[in-house]
Amino acid sequence: MIYSQAKVITGGLAHIPIVISFFYFIMTFFNKRALLFAETNKSIKLKSKVVESKTEAKPMIAVKAETGEIKETEVKEEKARVIKEISNKLEDIEKKAEDVKVKVKKKEKDKKKKKKKKDMKRD
């Protein structure tokens, strides 16, 4: 039995929601299982005891200033390291570009020589 194009297209369009819903149910089933597995295997955190220590209490302003200075120096060191890495990469790229430039010039010279030889053979 031969079906027209319209029947084939409508049949295909009618089955698309069925296929999508089938895969949706499969996806939700496995997601539920994965969530249950994660909950059952969740590590239990033990409550830690609060222990008072007899350390010297520093004013919060001094502590904040110290941590701020440490963070600033760390940030500066990180920036310097990143800049150094970038400059090294830039130098490598410049060297490669120079090498490519030399190779291109060499190939152009070779092409010109070959072309001159061919022209001379024709005469």
Q: Output the tens digit of pLDDT for each of the chain's 123 residues.
A: 788 999 999 998 999 999 999 999 999 999 998 888 888 887 655 455 555 555 555 555 555 556 667 777 888 888 889 999 999 999 999 999 999 999 999 988 888 888 777 767 654
Q: Which residue has the tokens 């005469």?
A: 123
Angle (CA) 60-64-59 rounded to 5° is 20
pTM exceeding the 0.75 threshold for the entire prediction: no
Tell me the backbone φ, ψ of residue 46, rounded to 5 degrees: -80, 140
Question: Domain ranges in the chain?
Answer: 1-42, 70-123
pLDDT confidence of residue 36:
86
Q: Cα 45 to chain center, whole Å?
A: 33
Helix, strand, coil shares, percent, the chain, to 5: 80, 0, 20
Q: How far apart are CA 99 and CA 91, in angstroms?
A: 12
